[in-house]
Amino acid sequence: MTDSLRWTREGGRLLLQGELDQDFLVPLWDARKEVMQGVETIDLSEITRVDTAGVALLMHLVAQVRQQGSAVSIVGKSEKMNTLVQLYNLPPDLIP
């Protein structure tokens, strides 16, 4: 089991790895402005766990990219992520 959240940048792609939950979000939150510069895709394919705090962070990151005048997509969403989005009745464009 992974006990952290890590990220790497490859061009316009941000790859998140590990647990996207309240226990591990703070470092990414603190670095979000620098990390999100030029991001076009957020890749969740290596996320092992997500909670509502993780969904909230993703919504914020998407909004941040849009405020920069760019579009962003999220790939590799798990069924658990989709379930959380549906349970909270979030509009599809919040987690594109």
Residues 15-58: tens digit of each pLDDT: 999 999 999 999 999 999 999 999 999 999 999 999 999 999 99
- Residue 55 structure tokens: 């969904």
CATH fold group of domain 5-94? Transcription Regulator spoIIAA (3.30.750)
The model's pTM is 0.91
